[in-house]
Structure 1
Amino acid sequence: MALANQLPDAKGQPVQRRQSAQGQSRWPLVSLILGGLTAITLSLSLWMIFFYTPVDALQGVTQRIFYFHVPTAWVGMLSFIILAVCGIIYLFKADERLDWLARAAAEVGVVFLTITLILGSLWGKPIWGAWWVWDARLTATLILWFMYVGYIMLRSYMGPGSEGARAGAVIGIIGAIDVPIIYLSVNWWRGQHPAAQLNPKGDLPPQAVITLLVALVAITLLYAFMMVQAYQLQRLQALAQQLRASVE
């Protein structure tokens, strides 16, 4: 235990770490609660998507992709905002926990954004007649996906440490500019996506609105659950590297 509390920093100097038993036991409980809530809300949303909400009169069954596509896009963009905020704070206060959170946000966010692009293609083929069109929102989303991939590749190349964390923070801050562009692109440029309205309900029936809200909650809880696991993995990897360095 003493070795775990006195780990070397990047220069080989021992660093005191405060790791109380209470703090360590908190994460499994958080994971258990989030996992239970995620299972319940996902089950409810799946039932509502396939049995509660009516079939769209124009798009038919294909429109049900909407209830997965929108929530995954939401958390994909939310994750990059978290990445950017962690980067901004890290530039002023170099706390490695912020770097762990940023790396977790990148790894989880790219998964959800990849699902968003795949679902968009599956939806676009029967409705637009093509797997991919260079729509403004699609293009901006693809750029954000490349920013995710670029961040992960950079961090993998530079490895752990303050230099890689600062470089990643800059990419996160720059990439976050694309998030409002994705949302407003349908109003700025003409494309296949409908323009964003002040009323998010649009012409959706009440059952569809409720189903969408439940799906948003379910996917957000799933995202939070995955973020906790990814953050814990980043923390354990950092501790393992520091323990290896102390042994060597």
Structure 2
Amino acid sequence: MSATENRSGPPGLWTRIAHPGLFLGWSRHLVVPLALLCIALFAVGLYFAFPGSPADYQMGDTVRMMYVHVPSAWLSQFCYGVMCVSAIGTLVWRHPMADVSQKAAAPLGAAFTALALFTGSMWGRPTWGTFWEWDGRMTSTLILLFIYLGIVALWRAFDDQLKAARVIAVFTLVGAINIPIIKFSVDWWQTLHQPASVFRLDGPTIDTAMLVPLLVMTGAFSVLFLTLHLVGMRTEIGKRRVRSLQTALARAEGGAR
């Protein structure tokens, strides 16, 4: 039995579904359909975003950067939310799949955060006249990237992945304080970023011709994350099983001498 499979978790259907062996069984049937759905959503989203979406009366065609920047910024925070839930699963229930989910999500979150920062800079230069400004949202998003990179580095620094999972789970939950700072920075401080225009109590303030492609592209990025996260978790389980077999083999060879 591998190190991924020898810890107890919360009882019930969820434990059985998330058992590493069962997870490998049912998740392999989802990867290809999710990948096809992702391609379809990107095709539709890009069609509506570029030929179909109007230019902004102030920003012109540069507003189309929004269809990549906004979804990547959303996923940068959503990935961290997934990691926080996984961290709770590691610390409270010590579920075998929780730290697998944590580890698989970290590089994806770093990639989406880096993409959000890059596209934001490219969008900011013609719009604000600068690639970078140390305002609340930009700075807190940059800090989020550093947190992600620190988590990825921590995973690689530990040989014992189970011990690493507990340390990183605590680090992840502490770092979660940065997420509401990113979210509400435009309300707390003077910033170049505009306030929320999609998820508002009084409804979206963005034109439908821009809102529809934005939602489709957000869906496409979300399915991309889900697909890559499943593949990453499957890969991590495989690596841990190989490592467990290598350790067992080394112990057997040592005992035979």
**Is the TM-score greater than 0.5?**
yes
Residue 187 (structure 1) shift: 0.2
> For residue 106 of structure 2, what is the amino acid of its counterpart?
A
1:117 aligned partner: 117
**What is residue 233 of structure 1 aligned with on the other side?**
235
Provide the rounded CA distance (Å) in 2 between the counterparts of 1:130 and 1:52. 28
In structure 1, runs of 5+ residues without a counterpart are 1-5
TM-score of the pair, normalised by structure 2: 0.86
Distance 1:75 1:19 in 2: 25
User: Aligned pair count?
Assistant: 237
Once the two structures are TM-superposed, the CA of residue 73 in structure 1 deviates from its matched residue by 0.8
For 1:192, what is the secondary structure of its paired residue?
A: coil
Q: Distance in 1 between matches of 2:99 and 2:143?
A: 23
Q: Deviations over 1:43-95 (max 9, x none)?
A: 00010111111111110111100111111111110010111111122111212
1:229 CA displacement:
0.9
Give CA-to-partner distance per residue, 1:24-45, whole Å, 9 cap, x none. 4422211011111101001000
Tell me if the contact between 2:155 and 2:161 (Cα under 8 Å) persists in the aligned partners.
no
- Look up the match of 2:204: 201
Find the counterpart in structure 2 of residue 27 from structure 1.
Answer: 27
Q: Which shifted more, 73-82 or 154-163?
A: 154-163
Shift of the alpha carbon at 1:96? 2.6
Residue in structure 1 matched with residue 13 of structure 2 by the alignment: none
Distance 1:85 1:149 in 2: 19
Distance of 1:159 and 1:63 partners within structure 2:
46
SS of the aligned residue for 2:97 comes to helix
Distance in 1, matches of 2:99 and 2:175, equals: 16
The residue number in structure 2 matching 1:3 is: none
Contact conserved, 1:101 with 1:231, CA < 8 A, in 2? yes
CA distance in 2, matches of 1:205, 1:236: 46
Q: How does 1:16-165 map to 2 (within 5 A)?
A: 24-165=24-165
Runs of 4+ in 1 over 4 A off after TM superposition: none
AA partner of residue 204 (structure 2) = K
Letter in 2 for 1:158: F
Deviation at 1:19, TM superposition (A): 6.7
Instruction: Please give the root-mean-square deviation of Cα atoms over the aligned residues, in Å.
Output: 2.1
Question: Equivalent pairs: percent with the same residue?
Answer: 28
SS in structure 1 opposite 2:193?
Answer: coil
Task: Work out the CA distance in 2 between the residues paired with 1:127 and 1:177.
Answer: 30
Structure 2: any 5+ residue segments left out of the alignment?
8-18, 251-257
- CA distance in structure 2 between the partners assigned to 1:84 and 1:27 by the alignment: 22
Distance 2:54 2:79 in 1: 31
Q: In structure 2, how many angstroms separate the alpha carbons of the residues matched to 1:161 and 1:218?
A: 32
The normalised TM-score by structure 1 is 0.89
How many angstroms apart in 2 are the aligned matches of 1:127 and 1:19? 48
Distance 2:163 2:126 in 1: 47
Q: Residue in 1 aligned with 2:249?
A: 247
Structure 1 CA distance for aligned equivalents of residues 20 and 85 of structure 2: 25
Distance 1:152 1:200, change over 3 A: farther
- Partner SS state of residue 96, structure 1: coil
- Between the aligned partners of 1:219 and 1:237, the Cα distance in structure 2 is 26
Task: Report what 1:215 is aligned to.
Answer: 217
Counterpart of 1:209, as a letter, is L
Residues 1:113 and 1:104: Cα distance change in structure 2 (over 3 Å): same
